[in-house]
Amino acid sequence: MSGKTKWAVIGSGGIARRRTIPEGISKAKNAELSVVFDIDAQVNAEVAKKFDAKEAGSINALLDEDIDAVYIATPAHLHAEQVRVCAKAGKHVLCEKPLGMTVAEAEEMIELCKQRSVKLGCAFMMRFVAQHAEALRLIKEGKLGTPTYARAQLSCWYPPIEGAWRQDPATGGGGALIDMGGHCIDLLEMFFGKVARVGCFINNTVHDYKSEDSAVALLFFENGALATVDTFFCIPDNSSKNVLELYGSKGSILAKGTIGQAPAGEMVAFLEQDRKDYDAQQARPVRNSTMRKITQKGDISNGAQTEGQGIIIAPESVNTYQAEIEEFSQAIIDDRDPLIGGELGLRSQKVLTACYESARLGKVVEVGS
Ligand SMILES: NC(=O)c1ccc[n+]([C@@H]2O[C@H](COP(=O)([O-])OP(=O)(O)OC[C@H]3O[C@@H](n4cnc5c(N)ncnc54)[C@H](O)[C@@H]3O)[C@@H](O)[C@H]2O)c1
């Protein structure tokens, strides 16, 4: 295939309308929007008009159009069936997270897409955040040393809303943990590798809907590193700075606000050139005036870095929705596997399932490979 990938959208009225269509499909160099469908016909008509797309009256009608790929952005409990229908129609599918409601559903989705020779992607777009890509590069180059500990936080204020699908596990699969913690866990696996076992608490601390509004998960990675994920639907937006902290035997990478939808936030690395002896003074001066800045890939100077100096990681920002659409479109054009394929969606589902199981049983749960 050459030229532009022709996209359809199922569930056009939420994140699709807010971000993935305007910032992703419309801006991507190798994609174009053909047709949209939403169960809410009025919303669908508005979206079709705004983005100059055809308006389908059903999923079958949408699949009859001349399209290559479908972006599914509906409530979580609908994903598996909608992926099934699209795959059977021979369309490539980029599905929002969580991929399914259970590990079995995610496995079936992957298997069916394989059988039908269509590509399956999972929309973990936070992997494309420019600072995250730079942090990953530093970790892969060994600049952090042996990974030891990480923290990822994503919280917001989400009060009770009549009929909200995220507030009922029957439609959302859970609450804060699966909805926002899923991004955190996915990012931490990107940085530190696979999680081997988890311990987790969930609670309804403030809101009394059926899904949890509070969750903290403790992760033990296969490589021995530890991490915590904290995610709440009951902390005011401006109070959660969506912290990302990555520590290793040679330093740390600390960020605020890079986990999120818009290109934002700041990230600083504190890296030692070589392992130092134990310092009884435990001195850790931080002088912003002495910080150097990395603004492009590979721009970490080889010069000696004195203790306490930080390196500001500020690469050119990337729109994550544009990046995810361009990447998936290119995978179709080049006929290769997408970077963020269904397997990562399945992986996330396995860790999340283990977390919920741990919370339910009150004990540590193995994730499995
Ligand atoms: N990656 C991100 O940045 C991000 C952000 C928000 C949501 N999401 C994910 O996107 C998905 C949708 O979340 P949202 O916040 O947009 O939800 P939403 O409720 O705001 O929007 C979902 C849309 O799907 C439509 N819909 C419902 N049932 C449908 C059906 N049977 N067929 C077609 N359309 C149907 C609704 O009318 C609505 O317009 C979820 O999987 C969520 O986790 C991802």
Q: What CATH number is attached to the domain comprising 42?
A: 3.40.50.720
Check whether 329 has a pLDDT greater than 80. Answer: yes
Q: Per the omega criterion (within 30 degrees of 0), is the bond before 98 cis? A: yes
Looking at the fold, whether 182 and 304 belong to one and the same domain comes out as yes
Residue of 282 and 102 predicted with greater confidence? 102
Whether ligand 1 lies within 6 angstroms of the CB of 100 is answered as no
Question: Could you identify the residue written with the tokens 């008009």?
Answer: 49
Please report which confidence band the pLDDT of residue 307 belongs to, taking 50, 70 and 90 as the band edges. very low
Contact 232, 214 (CB under 8 A): yes
Looking at the fold, whether 332 and 280 belong to one and the same domain comes out as no
Q: Is the dihedral of CA 88, 9, 21, 73 positive or negative?
A: negative
Looking at the fold, whether 37 and 78 belong to one and the same domain comes out as yes
Residue nearest to atom 23 of ligand 1 (CA): 11
Looking at the fold, whether 244 and 314 belong to one and the same domain comes out as yes
Mean pLDDT of 60-79: 98
Looking at the fold, whether 75 and 223 belong to one and the same domain comes out as no
Three-state DSSP at 3 gives: coil
Decide if 289 is inside a domain. yes
Looking at the fold, whether 290 and 198 belong to one and the same domain comes out as yes
The overall longest dimension of the chain from CA atoms, in Å, is 70
Which token pair is 119?
Answer: 């590509």
Q: What is the pLDDT of residue 129?
A: 98
Decide if 35 is inside a domain. yes
Looking at the fold, whether 168 and 114 belong to one and the same domain comes out as no
Find the 133 Cα to ligand 1 centroid distance in Å.
27
Question: Of 237, 322, 331, nearest to 19 (Cα)?
Answer: 322
Looking at the fold, whether 80 and 153 belong to one and the same domain comes out as no
Decide if 349 is inside a domain. no
Whether ligand 1 lies within 6 angstroms of the CB of 78 is answered as yes
Contact 11, 74 (CB under 8 A): yes
Whether ligand 1 lies within 6 angstroms of the CB of 75 is answered as yes
Mean pLDDT of 151-160: 98
Looking at the fold, whether 113 and 203 belong to one and the same domain comes out as no
What CATH number is given to the structural domain containing 146?
A: 3.30.360.10
Residues 242 and 268: their CA atoms lie apart, in Å, by 15
Enter the DSSP assignment of 13: T
Check whether 40 has a pLDDT greater than 60. Answer: yes
Which token pair is 110?
Answer: 């992957």
Find the 364 Cα to ligand 1 centroid distance in Å.
32
The mean of the pLDDT values for the chain is: 93
Looking at the fold, whether 75 and 174 belong to one and the same domain comes out as no
Whether ligand 1 lies within 6 angstroms of the CB of 57 is answered as no
Mind listing the pLDDT tens digit for each residue in 350-365? 999 999 999 999 999 9
Residues 81 and 86: their CA atoms lie apart, in Å, by 9
Looking at the fold, whether 160 and 27 belong to one and the same domain comes out as no
| Tally of structural domains, the chain | 2
Q: What is the pLDDT of residue 369?
A: 81
Question: Of 316, 282, 272, nearest to 131 (Cα)?
Answer: 316
Mind listing the pLDDT tens digit for each residue in 180-191? 999 999 999 999
Residues 265 and 330: their CA atoms lie apart, in Å, by 28
Contact 259, 155 (CB under 8 A): no
Mind listing the pLDDT tens digit for each residue in 244-280? 999 999 999 999 999 999 889 999 999 987 555 555 5
Q: Which domain holds residue 64?
A: 5-124+320-339
Residue nearest to atom 4 of ligand 1 (CA): 15
Looking at the fold, whether 330 and 271 belong to one and the same domain comes out as no
Distances, alpha carbon 277 to alpha carbons 250, 274, 297, 305, in Å: 12, 10, 30, 16
DSSP states of 75-88: -GGGHHHHHHHHHH
Decide if 102 is inside a domain. yes
Question: Could you identify the residue written with the tokens 């500990």?
Answer: 149
Mind listing the pLDDT tens digit for each residue in 191-236? 999 999 999 999 999 999 999 999 999 999 999 999 999 999 999 9
Contact 72, 46 (CB under 8 A): no
Decide if 344 is inside a domain. no
Decide if 330 is inside a domain. yes
Which token pair is 90?
Answer: 């021979």
Please report which confidence band the pLDDT of residue 292 belongs to, taking 50, 70 and 90 as the band edges. low
Please report which confidence band the pLDDT of residue 282 belongs to, taking 50, 70 and 90 as the band edges. low
Decide if 158 is inside a domain. yes
Q: What is the pTM of this model?
A: 0.93
In the chain, what percentage of residues exceed pLDDT 90? 87
Please report which confidence band the pLDDT of residue 332 belongs to, taking 50, 70 and 90 as the band edges. very high
Decide if 364 is inside a domain. no
